[in-house]
Structure 1
């Protein structure tokens, strides 16, 4: 005989017509829940035969030692580095991390948040698209759970947030290229819908204007994070604009593809006699999320977005919220830095 289906907190929430976080509050006796809502939840519990887990109830009291972490894509270098920083710092403080993914568009973010709340975590860190940031914060507030956000861009207000300074990073690396004598600088990579890219392109354009250099919209080329597409895009870009002397790449994958594209262009012109795509040295620069020691040893200038350090700051912030009951919202910005091994470029 098949065993009966185990009744979960999600089943109770659905039957009572409330959120998972509301059921969690009723079970733990925390938060502000109306008597009518509490009665409806308890009736659903009794009707379904939900078994209250005493261990889970104690966890919901804030003594689990577990921190929930929601990331959009653990395979992306930024989120991998961020997660490494968070887990290392929390584990050094005797805490554990409950990790889950929400998807690149954040479509499962609220569901993942409610799941973590139902598991009785002490606090939650969210790293990814924050289009529903207000709903997420409200759900966490209702459950009495501290919540800290990590964002790659700066479009969310009224939350506890740590983010990189994308515009400053672009200004720094563009300025370095200009100081090295480059006056015709192109941009490669990213999609126009990306706010992170928009902030970086804004810094790039502002720096060109600051130094009185030309900006050409056709020199700003979209490209997915694909080495193959980046290599092909570089060839097209330089055939159409042979006087470009430097290319700023949106991420490390695009930068590697651009490097291969330059090698291919030079190789083809040498061996097949095809007209050269460019007659001068072309420098590459790019944004990186990994520490300097992990950068590829190729002739690219890097500006580093300190994702791992952001993770450590996020861990410190959530622990402060938990242990001290801090509720003040802060928008902390992590400054970028140039890698020490910036090189001069690659000849075509």
Structure 2
């Protein structure tokens, strides 16, 4: 069976070959009626556009390399989904690499991207303890955009969420509801997200003339059990605590367990002294399944992905684009727990 060519499409649509080419590349000023005619001709003839061949002729690529190192990181997974959706909407395809924490594997991943002819790379950083990017990423010769939760000082094209703003917003909300003994639960001592959120926590306390108390901000391992243990110990020692600001979904779940273990309940009503308000930072599925439903500051993961996709395409198309820094704020979602 003869393969349908662009010439066949042009004849069927009664337009020039160059017009068909412009429609395929979405270039030039072509009327909607002509575009519809060309598309109808392609459908009638069963024409399939060979994007790889077109890219080769034009020395361009519609491939974007996407590196995700931790599939257990819920924020990175949701950002990845948003990036893929936005790039596909703009007719780009994603070439996925997952080198975990192996630096040699990261080098091989970047080499593979280059061999496959990707136009640019998006790196989803999940290391919350590192203050700098891996050296292989720093040396990446391709247009690069980094998505991070914690690398606020890194000099690169960066899209990240504002952890200070999120904690400040959450703390101010609790203070304005009358809470004066607020604890921050979870995150390891070396966790840069925790450090940034504690800055926002402190600034909100200072703003309202309150003092930060170290004993009300216990660090712990990233597990439900660890969070539950430190929260129970804190509540048993400080029964005046009326609100918990939880570092992560595990800290939320551990906090819920600890509140019940010490004979108290979750809720908003400050005048019921047995109640403890609980507020977190993640819009996770199991947040919606608890009772009472949990108040939280959203992670802005969908917008983060859209911004990262848009930025990498700008970098590809604008070689002289100055380094961009996009910081996204979360939104407070008020429910029953605080």
TM interval, shorter chain, is 0.7 to 0.9
Q: 1:155 to 1:262 in 2, by over 3 A?
A: same
TM-score by length of 1: 0.71
Is the 1:59–1:120 Cα contact (8 Å) retained in structure 2?
no
Rounded to whole Å, the distance in 2 between the matches of 1:139 and 1:244 is 48
Q: Does 1:318 align with 2:307?
A: no
**From 321, 324, 329, the counterpart of 1:327:** 321
Q: Does 1:90 align with 2:83?
A: no
Q: Does 1:65 align with 2:62?
A: yes
Rounded to whole Å, the distance in 2 between the matches of 1:203 and 1:248 is 12
Rounded to whole Å, the distance in 2 between the matches of 1:114 and 1:325 is 21
Is the 2:247–2:280 Cα contact (8 Å) retained in structure 1?
yes
Output aligned runs, 1:1-348, within 5 Å. Answer: 63-103=60-100, 108-128=105-125, 129=127, 133=133, 135-136=135-136, 139-141=139-141, 145-266=142-263, 280-290=274-284, 295-299=288-292, 300-339=294-333, 341-345=334-338
Is the 2:186–2:247 Cα contact (8 Å) retained in structure 1?
yes
* Structure 2, unpaired ranges of 5+: 1-51, 266-271
Q: 1:174 to 1:115 in 2, by over 3 A?
A: same
**CA shift at 1:250, angstroms?**
0.4
Aligned to 1:33: none
Is the 1:72–1:106 Cα contact (8 Å) retained in structure 2?
no
Rounded to whole Å, the distance in 1 between the matches of 2:74 and 2:113 is 24
Rounded to whole Å, the distance in 2 between the matches of 1:262 and 1:247 is 10
Q: 1:124 to 1:197 in 2, by over 3 A?
A: same
* Structure 1, unpaired ranges of 5+: 1-54, 269-277
Rounded to whole Å, the distance in 2 between the matches of 1:110 and 1:235 is 45
**CA shift at 1:154, angstroms?**
3.6
**CA shift at 1:344, angstroms?**
4.5
Is the 1:66–1:121 Cα contact (8 Å) retained in structure 2?
yes
Rounded to whole Å, the distance in 1 between the matches of 2:86 and 2:106 is 24
CA RMSD of aligned residues (A): 2.9
Aligned residues, how many?
276
Q: Deviations over 1:9-63 (max 9, x none)?
A: xxxxxxxxxxxxxxxxxxxxxxxxxxxxxxxxxxxxxxxxxxxxxx89x769853
Rounded to whole Å, the distance in 1 between the matches of 2:290 and 2:57 is 48
Mean CA deviation greater in 103-112 or 298-307: 103-112
Rounded to whole Å, the distance in 2 between the matches of 1:107 and 1:206 is 41
Rounded to whole Å, the distance in 1 between the matches of 2:315 and 2:114 is 16
Aligned to 1:23: none
Rounded to whole Å, the distance in 1 between the matches of 2:219 and 2:56 is 47
Q: 1:267 to 1:132 in 2, by over 3 A?
A: closer
Mean CA deviation greater in 174-183 or 227-236: 227-236
Aligned residue for 2:315, secondary structure, equals helix
**CA shift at 1:140, angstroms?**
2.4
Is the 2:131–2:151 Cα contact (8 Å) retained in structure 1?
no
**CA shift at 1:111, angstroms?**
4.1
Aligned residue for 1:176, secondary structure, equals helix
